[in-house]
Amino acid sequence: MTQPPHAPLLFATRAGTLYIGEQPVTALAERLGTPFYAYDSRLIELRIKELRDVLPSQVQIHYAVKANPFPPLLSYMAGRVDGCDVASAGELEKALEAGFSPETISFAGPGKRDAELMAALQANITINVESAGELERLARLGEMLGIRPRVALRINPDFELKGSGMRMGGGAKPFGIDAEQAPAIIREINALDIDFQGLHIFTGSQSLSMEAIIQAQSGALNLARMLLEGAGLPLRKINIGGGLGIPYFPGENRLNIKPMGDQLHHLLETHRGWLGDAHLVLELGRFLVGEAGVYVTRIVDRKVSRGETFLITDGGMHHHLALSGNLGQVIRKNYPVYLAHRVGKPAEEIVNIHGPLCTPLDVLGHKVALPRAEIGDLIAVTQSGAYGLTASPVHFLGHPLPSEVLIDGGHE
């Protein structure tokens, strides 16, 4: 019970009941059945506004579709951010259906097949090229189809975002072209019949250190300058990555993004000479949608085993792998979990919360302090709007899929 607390809840509660927008989760559960995911558009809107308030207008916000490709949510994003980043032809199709216009879509990913490159060429989106070989393949396919490829080079920087939850830049990586190899490729670009857009420099993900984020952004711009200044290429955008994290675990705090905005204003001044009015792009997934989502599951059984109480729920790792600690965590920690009709009430017992799967990995909460919970009660897990359903092994053990719902403007 002496654990540090989770970051404060962003959803409203009334008489102890958790609300998603204007909807009590208990009513949502009646209607949708359990388990389900609900996403509150107002929290997404608030997040975007917070960013717009501090960012220079030259900095665009892109949504990383892989964080949550739920179609209504994607359509919602299409009207509010400046573009999106997809990582497969499947995501590209979803992004186009959601209403993103092709010139605002970019496609990164280390293993783009010919069919995917052709789909991207035909849609006329920007393709973030990940290797010299891919660039060659793309140029060839473009020639074949008679379409001039719109290309950005993804660079694997020689540094990484410190304190990052997932390492995606720096060192030997499957992603991007090593910064050291980039100059030779950039020299050849003029000779290729491609529409060069700029660079994509992704340094890492899920960082809660503003200092590290600022350092990585500054490093990305310096690297871009080194590669592009005097290269004689037209310059439209530099994607400087994202990496902004959200607090998942006890003791973690929300980022204050004001210093990042200040720094970007400053960086744009410093780099004005070579950058001109090319756009900077921040590509964000979890920071935009992660805190807007809740996963709700019902307690099916309550039992005691050798002195410990277990609540067994109808949802678990097959819907929410990250919650169970099996999506890239080294040491499992608890997400914030709430007894959905008694939020904020004093804890009465320590429980283990376990899903319905026949594996000890299906953990929703280990030694969590909760008010007394009974069979039929609802458990709500916040911080579940990103890498939830989309990143889970839904076929494992053959349980049904959960419902998903976007609560837009407080209502469905």
Ligand X SMILES: *Cc1c(COP(=O)(O)O)cnc(C)c1O
Give me the least distance between CB of 343 and ligand X, in Å please: 26
When the beta carbons of 139 and 386 are compared against ligand X, the nearer one is 386
Report the C-alpha gap between 256 and 244 in whole angstroms: 10
Q: Does 152 bind ligand X (CB under 6 A)?
A: no
Stretch that binds ligand X, among 213-221, 260-268, 273-281, 282-290 (CB under 6 A): 282-290
Nearest distance, CB of residue 206 and ligand X, angstroms? 5
Between 108 and 275, CB nearer to ligand X: 108
User: Considering beta carbons, is residue 142 or 243 the nearer one to ligand X?
Assistant: 243
Contacts made by residues 26-34, CB under 8 angstroms, sequence distance 24+: 26/340, 26/341, 26/378, 28/296, 28/405, 29/296, 29/298, 29/340, 29/378, 32/403, 32/405, 33/403, 34/296, 34/297, 34/298, 34/314, 34/315, 34/378, 34/402
Q: Which of residues 364-403 bind ligand X (CB under 6 A)?
A: 386
Q: Which of 34, 106, 197, 206 binds ligand X (CB under 6 A)?
A: 206
Per rule CB under 6 A, count of chain residues that contact ligand X: 15
66 binds ligand X (CB under 6 A): yes
Cβ 280 to ligand X shortest distance, Å: 14
Binding segment toward ligand X, per CB under 6 A, in 11-19, 52-60, 198-206, 366-374? 198-206
Q: Give the binding range for ligand X (CB under 6 A) out of 60-68, 70-78, 263-271, 335-343.
A: 60-68
Q: How far is the CB of 62 from ligand X (least distance, A)?
A: 8
Which residue reads 């950039």 in tokens?
186
Residue 286 binding ligand X, by CB under 6 A: yes
Q: By CB under 6 A, is residue 155 in contact with ligand X?
A: no
Per CB under 6 A, the list member of 64, 77, 118, 201 interacting with ligand X is: 64
The residue from 36, 202, 249, 338 that contacts ligand X (CB under 6 A) is: 202
By CB under 6 A, tell whether 198 contacts ligand X. no
Minimal distance, residue 190 CB to ligand X, in Å: 26
Give the residue, chosen from 91, 134, 283, 291, that forms a contact with ligand X under the rule CB under 6 A: 283
Taking CB under 6 A as the criterion, the residue among 156, 197, 205, 297 binding ligand X is: 205
The stretch near ligand X (CB under 6 A) out of 38-46, 201-209, 225-233, 365-373 is 201-209
Place of tokens 């999506």: 327
Q: Is 131 in the site for ligand X (CB under 6 A)?
A: no
Site string for ligand X, 91-120 (x = CB under 6 A): -----------------x------------
242: contact with ligand X by CB under 6 A: yes
Q: How far is the CB of 298 from ligand X (least distance, A)?
A: 28
| Cβ atoms of residues 131 and 117 within 8 Å | no
Residue with tokens 């049904």: 400
Residue pair 299/313 in contact by the 8 Å Cβ criterion: yes
Binder among 287, 295, 335, 338 for ligand X (CB under 6 A): 287
Give the interface with ligand X as residue ranges (CB under 6 A).
64, 66-67, 85, 108, 202, 205-206, 242, 283-287, 386
